Chain A
């Protein structure tokens, strides 16, 4: 079946530190991969996506590369800000012949201190 595993949080960093949040997946076929972010009290927002192997998604200084050989899609940012404090969800989307649903990891809470 399809599943997503993220590193456990919470992750606490100082402002301007380097961020990595690990995400690995199990899937049949060729899913698309996504990172969503949930700020306190809000819904999930798409942060970035990659639709095929070796694609790099990027947005707001965040990047993630679709690595088929290691079934990974790790999220990175070179210099985090206090405003990046949120919960980050890695997700995969199964092909439409498998229902096309979004499957999420358990979420990783990031707290950035000034």
Chain B
């Protein structure tokens, strides 16, 4: 158990809908990262937060947004869903975004858009 909790584990929704994925980082970790894993794109970095502030942005679509709350949990919002958004979404956390610190991953949320 990595200590990073993601909910829900599975989500099935229709095209055009909006969903929210939730991540609770390990106790004491201030930095949260979101990744999308799909068969054709591999593991893509979406966005990173540190202590409530956006720190880095990757290949995140405009239809997607995220935030980190004062209690350090994070939510990833996906809207106007398309079939191609079906993927595994991982959250990871680390103490800080320092170069030597490792990131711990949650079990992921499997999103299926039908």
Contacts and interface: CB of A to CB of B under 8 A. Distances in A.
Looking at B92, B96, B105, the one whose CB has the most chain A CB atoms below 10 A away is: B105
A103 B102 CA distance: 12
Interface stretch (A38-46, A60-68, A73-81): A38-46
Interface in B29-75: 31, 33, 35, 42-43, 45, 48, 55-56, 58
A100 B31 CA distance: 10
Given A43-B107, A46-B104, A51-B99, A102 B2 contact: no
B9 to A, nearest CB: 10
Contact-residue size bin, chain A (C-beta under 8 Å from the other chain):
20 to 34
B89 to A, nearest CB: 11
A34 B43 CA distance: 14
Looking at A94, A95, A96, A107, the one whose CB has the most chain B CB atoms below 10 A away is: A96
A99 B98 CA distance: 9
A100 B108 contact: no
Interface in B15-34: 31, 33
A13 B58 CA distance: 35
Given A43-B90, A106-B42, A101 B98 contact: no
Interface of B: 2, 4, 31, 33, 35, 42-43, 45, 48, 55-56, 58, 90, 92, 96-108
Given A44-B92, A96-B97, A101-B97, 11 more contacts: A32-B99, A34-B102, A36-B105, A43-B106, A43-B107, A46-B102, A96-B99, A100-B55, A100-B99, A101-B45, A104-B42
5 contacts: A30-B99, A31-B99, A43-B107, A49-B102, A100-B31
